[in-house]
Structure 1
Amino acid sequence: MFRITKEFHFSASHQLIHLPADHQCARMHGHNYVVVVELSASELNADGFVRDYHELKDLKDYIDTRFDHRHLNDVLDCPSTAEHMAHHFYQWCKARWPEVTAVKVSETPKTWAEFRP
């Protein structure tokens, strides 16, 4: 199995309003997010790729226009947890590239959430 990943970055604010008022994440705050998309294939295409990295620019454009420097509560139709965002980005990517096998989202250098069906 061949596997590739590509990393994308954006900054945004959010507030987890469903949490108790005294929970730190219930207050509005921001993160420097990292999104990693993983693609896998048992065979390489005619160019020797799982997928050309250049084709993943659509995800960068999507993140830059819809998520970067936005308030995620206004962007997502679900709680803006890293877990929900990993699922959201997975679905968006999978609809475009069938080789997508997982998406990871980091809010801090020490925390990651992953969606992998």
Structure 2
Amino acid sequence: MFRITKEFHFSASHRLTTLPADHQCGRLHGHNYVVEVELSAATLNSHGFVRDYHELAPLKSYIDESFDHRHLNEVLGHDQVTAECLAKHFYDWCKDRLPETSAVRVSETPKTWAEYRP
């Protein structure tokens, strides 16, 4: 199996409203997010690629226009916008457009990652 990945970055705020008031994530706060998309294929296309990285440009546009410097609770319309939820959201968005999508990872901090992989 061949695998490729590409990273995307954005900054945004969120709040996890079901946590206790004294929990740091229960307060309004922000992160510098990293989204890593993985695409997989058993064979390469006629150009020797799983997929040309340039074909991921629509994801960059989607992130830049809809997520960067936004409040994620408003963007996604729910109270629990976790890294896990974002990974699933971006996976679904990518899978609809790029059938080779095999996983998405989201980082809120340099030491933490959440991944969605069916």
- Counting matched residue pairs gives 117
State the partner residue of 1:98.
99
Relative to the length of structure 1, the TM-score reads 0.98
Match of 1:21 in 2: 21
For 1:67, the equivalent position in structure 2 comes to: 67
- State the shift of 1:20 in Å: 1.0
- 1:39 Cα deviation from its structure 2 partner: 0.2
SS at 1:20 equivalent: coil
In structure 1, list runs of 5 or more residues that go unmatched.
none
**Structure 2 counterpart of 1:108, one-letter code:** T
SS at match of 2:36: strand
Q: Return 5+ residue gaps in structure 2 as ranges.
A: none
Q: Give the deviation of 1:77 after TM superposition.
A: 3.1
| Residue 12 (structure 2) aligns with | 12
In 1, the alpha carbon distance for the partners of 2:14 and 2:39 equals 28
Q: How far apart, CA to CA, are the structure 2 residues paired with 1:76 and 1:26?
A: 17
- Runs of 4 or more above 4 Å deviation: none
1:36 aligns with 2:36: yes
Could you say what the CA RMSD is over the residues aligned between the two structures, in angstroms?
0.6
The 2-side partners of 1:110 and 1:17 are apart by 23
The one-letter code of the counterpart of 1:92 is W
* Aligned counterpart, 1:109: 110
State the distance in 2 between where 1:94 and 1:63 align: 15
| Overall identity of the aligned pairs, in % | 74
Distance (Å, rounded) in 1 between the aligned partners of 2:104 and 2:116: 5
